[in-house]
Amino acid sequence: MESEGRNGKKLILVPDHSRATSLPCFSWRQSSSPRASPSQLLNTHFNSPDSSAHPNFTFLCIPDGLSEEEVRNPDLMGIVLRLNVNCESNFRECLTRGTNHMEPVDKICCIIYDAFVYFSEAVACDLKIPSIALHTSSAATTIVRPILLQLKAQGHIPIPDSMLQALVPLHRPLRFKDLPLSNFGSLDYFLELVVLVSNIRSSSAIIFNTIHCLEESPLAQLHQQFQVPIFAIGPLHKLAPTSAVSLLQEDTGCIPWLDKQTHNSVIYVSLGSIAHLDQDQLSEMAWGLANSKQPFLWVIRPGSIPGSEWIESMDEEFKECVKDRACIVKWAPQKKVLAHDAVGGFWSHCGWNSTLESIGVGVPIICQPCFGDQNVNARYLTHEWKVGLELEGEIERGTLERAVRTLMKQKEGEEMRQRVLDLKHKVEVSIGDGGYSSHYLSELVELLTSF
């Protein structure tokens, strides 16, 4: 998104563009001087963005030091830790080299960095450049992560069965089972990452991709904890709607299929860019959808089913049963799909991007979280905002069929749809003139120009 500062210089804030495993870029503001190059964006080689999709930016790439073997390693937490170690000196060198050749009017005024690439803050501090942390998960997730460290110190990680259903003190409606634990790789690596991400040290402020009307209480707690300005300027996808966000090839052929369906009749199913299903889970989901008798658009990511390239292992009887009311794709243009008139429900893993995108267009959710912050988001969807239907326990076709029917056909689902439409309106008010997100963005611009 772009805004003009008091001195006429353009300020650029780049939202998180990633939807598959990747690290967002580092961004800084360039002068509006006629001599200045397009606004610059620094990224690592690891899942680097397609520069042609962002013509307003000049991309600089630094080595990430990861081998092909490391990139294929499923230990995502370990990869993030190694990237932070590997990139710090390269980032420092790149900034030092760049600033030595800049005119005073073009000097870097601020580094805005994703909180998971915390080495950016260390470099900024060394070079005496102000920095701002960008959190792309919810405020509720951020405020409860340190609780995991307390549980570890008390010997309660893994969380005992006797605690799972208990509410987390001061953080209703979350239960201990909803805390954002990762199942990608080493638990020790994950908890180390929690420590490093939670310690902002010298940053001047924090940006959140969230909305005041959704997370008023967690945001207030974060204000008390960090004692720096906090700017809730989300949802970023609404403020920068043209940004390309997917690292996977989108199949737009599903849109003409949706055009042929009736209003609010289609359940859209997508469990995100990381989750995997075994053959039994795939079969139960398939027959739950088939038996619901609802039209459905199902995203099944290539490689997400161990032992299969795509859907060749699916039951032929299932394929025949649903051929007239199903569209199965490898990846979908999600924002367009959710905004389509035919889509009446979203069966989701409840990642924060997906959560905001669904609320932003007024679509209720069947919640099937897989790990991490998805558990937090799902609990808020079902028990705080009451716009989601909770799936718990084993994935079983009868339960899934009932969930789809409830959301799409029954009074309970219609009430959720009305509540999420109310939230959609509140989001639109928030990003409009005089709304909370608009106000926070103006305050952020004032802070940046003060640098």
Write the pLDDT tens digit of every residue in 158-177: 999 999 999 999 999 999 99
358 part of a folded domain: yes
Query: What is residue 194's predicted lDDT score, i.e. its pLDDT?
Result: 92
CA 185 to chain centre: 20
- List Cβ neighbours of 37 (8 Å cut-off, separation of 6 or more): 30, 58
Cβ burial of 79 (10 Å; 0-12, 13-18, 19+) is buried
One domain, residues 304 and 192: no
Helix (H) or strand (E) holding 305: none
pLDDT of residue 73 exceeding 80: no
- Bigger pLDDT: 241 or 318? 318
147 CB neighbour count, 10 Å cutoff: 18
Most confident of 33-37, 51-55, 173-177: 173-177
Local confidence band at 11 (pLDDT 50, 70, 90 cut-offs): very low
Q: What is the pLDDT of residues 270-305, one digit of tens each?
A: 998 887 888 899 999 999 999 999 999 999 998 888
Which CATH number fits the domain that encloses residue 219? 3.40.50.2000
CA pair distance 303, 138, nearest whole angstrom? 28
Bridge partners of residue 208, in order along the sequence:
135, 232
Distance CA 350, CA 375 (A): 8
What per-residue confidence (pLDDT) applies to 288?
Answer: 97
User: What's the whole-model pTM score?
Assistant: 0.89
- Asked whether residue 113 falls in the same domain as residue 237, the answer is yes
* pLDDT > 90 in the chain, percent: 63
pLDDT of residue 404 exceeding 60, the answer is yes
Query: Is there a single domain that holds both residue 220 and residue 367?
Result: no
Mean pLDDT score, 260-274: 94
One domain for residues 189 and 282: no
pLDDT, one tens digit per residue, over 85-125 is 999 999 999 888 866 666 655 678 889 999 999 999 999 99
The reply to whether 249 falls in a domain is no
User: Would you say residue 6 has pLDDT above 90?
Assistant: no
Note the pLDDT of residue 182: 85
Residue 329 included in any domain = yes
- Pick the more confident residue, 72 or 158: 158
Range 51-56 average pLDDT:
77
User: Could you tell me if 72 and 12 lie in one domain?
Assistant: yes
For the chain, the straight-line distance linking the first and the last C-alpha, in angstroms and rounded, comes to 19
| Per-residue pLDDT at 4 exceeds 50 | no
**Mean pLDDT along residues 78-91:** 91
| Enclosing H/E stretch for 133 | strand 131-135
Domain that holds residue 31: 2-244+429-450
352 in the same domain as 224:
no
**Same domain flag for 159 and 283:** no
Residue 158 preceded by cis peptide, ω within 30: yes
- Our CA dihedral for 334, 336, 338, 343, rounded to 10 degrees, sits at -120
For residues 63 and 45, the answer to whether their CB atoms sit within 8 Å is: yes
Residues 288 and 391 in one domain: yes
**313 and 442 within one domain:** no
Instruction: Say whether pLDDT at 24 is over 60.
Output: no
Residue 184 lies in a domain: yes
pLDDT of residue 156: 95
**Number of domains composing the chain:** 2
| Per-residue model confidence (pLDDT) at position 115 | 93
Instruction: Give the per-residue pLDDT at 242.
Output: 56
Q: What percent of the chain has pLDDT over 70?
A: 88
Q: Is the confidence at residue 23, as pLDDT, over 70?
A: no
Q: For 358-376, how does the pLDDT look when each residue is reduced to its tens digit (9 = 90+)?
A: 999 999 999 999 889 999 9
How far apart CA 54 and CA 250 sit, in angstroms, is: 17
Tell me which range, 19-23, 227-231, 393-397, is most confidently predicted by mean pLDDT.
Answer: 227-231
Question: How distant, in Å, are the alpha carbons of 94, 111, 384 from that of 97?
Answer: 5, 16, 49
Mean pLDDT across 12-23? 39
User: Do residues 228 and 259 share a domain?
Assistant: no
Residue 399 lies in a domain: yes
Residues 259 and 236 in one domain: no
Are residues 437 and 325 part of one domain?
no
Strand order in the sheet with 296-299: 326-329, 296-299, 266-270, 343-348, 365-367, 388-390
Structure confidence by residue, pLDDT tens digits, 204-219: 999 999 999 999 999 9
What is the gyration radius of the CA atoms in the chain, in angstroms? 22
